[in-house]
Structure 1
Amino acid sequence: MECTINWMGADGMAFVAETGSGHLLNMDGAPDGGGRNLAPRPMETVLAGTGGCTAYDVVLILKRGRHDVRGCQVKLRAERAQTEPKVFTAIHMHFVVSGRGLNAAAVERAVALSHEKYCSASIMLAKTAEITTSVEIVEV
């Protein structure tokens, strides 16, 4: 996997990442850190990527199990250390999974499998952060 980050110039703290798959991701800093608040902070992108990684796993696991999953939303809330390096110290992920006739045990197992075996991002962040999860199932 590769990624190239380019600083967008001396008038701020904006960066553009070009991923190995050819996609662009903009990032910027807060005004108090020299940024102009034009894009997500780099650590927000780490959190968002983690949410995407685990949601991907949950949907894939449920689909492979032939469950009628129709939607998956993950709401993440994170806390960071007060001093440098300001790593994530706690992350809570609330999964809202919708579908028809979803089995609660199967959904909870999919979430657990993601965090114990498949989601590289959450497993990596668990080295510094306590990761907790909750599940809500919505019938559609």
Structure 2
Amino acid sequence: MEFYLTEGGVRTQLPFGELEISGNEELGFRPFQLMIASVAGCSASVFRKVLQKKRIEIDDLQITADVERSSEEANKITAIQLHFVVKGRNLKHDLLEKSLQVARKNCSMVRTIEDSVDIKETLEVVNLSI
């Protein structure tokens, strides 16, 4: 990857498109936003793959990410709480919980930072009526 200095931050060109990164969110994505998006996006993608392999069908998946940062350490990210809300029919909480644990073990972004950032996941299951 190559990055180029811009007036407000840095820019890179990726296969999907151009990415603007800046400490000023009016000029681009803030680095901590990209970090959280990477963790949540990776977790969601791997979780979906695990569910597909287990033939568990879902109607919707939403993730909320709450972030704690340390003002004493350059606003370092110290904790990420990922709350997964899974909607579907005839879903079993225990099977989804086990699938989420498998996803965590296979998410490269979580594995990369788990020794320096406290990452917790919670699961909410919403069974829809037929």
TM-score by length of 2: 0.86
C-alpha distance in 2 between matches for 1:123 and 1:87: 18
Instruction: Determine the structure 1 residue equivalent to 2:9.
Output: 14
TM-score, normalised to structure 1's length? 0.81
| 2:126 is the counterpart of 1:138 | yes
Letter in 1 for 2:51: L
Alpha-carbon deviations, 1:1-57, whole Å to 9, x = none? xx2222222xxx2322223x3532222213xxxxx6233201110111110000001
Task: Determine the C-alpha separation between the residues in 1 that align with 2:81 and 2:10.
Answer: 28
- How far is 1:85 from its partner? 4.9
How far apart are the structure 2 equivalents of 1:54 and 1:82? 27
Q: Which residue of 1 aligns with 2:3?
A: 5
CA RMSD of aligned residues (A): 1.8
Matched, 1:67 2:56: yes
1:27 corresponds in structure 2 to 21
2:20 counterpart letter in structure 1? N
**3-state DSSP class of the match of 1:69?**
coil
Separation in structure 1 between the aligned mates of residue 5 and residue 59 of structure 2, nearest angstrom: 39
Question: SS of 1:18's equivalent?
Answer: strand
Unaligned residue ranges in structure 2 (runs of 5+):
none
> Who is 2:38 aligned against?
49
Give the C-alpha shift of residue 137 in structure 1.
Answer: 1.1
CA distance in 2, matches of 1:138, 1:7: 46
- Tell me which amino acid in the other structure corresponds to 1:75: T
Which has the bigger relative contact order, CA under 8 A and spacing at least 6? 2
Alignment match of 2:109 (pick from 111, 116, 121): 121
Q: Identity of paired residues, percent?
A: 25
Aligned residues: 128
**Cross-structure match for 1:40:** 29
In 1: Cα distance, 2:16 partner to 2:83 partner? 31
Query: 2:11 is matched by which residue type in structure 1?
Result: V
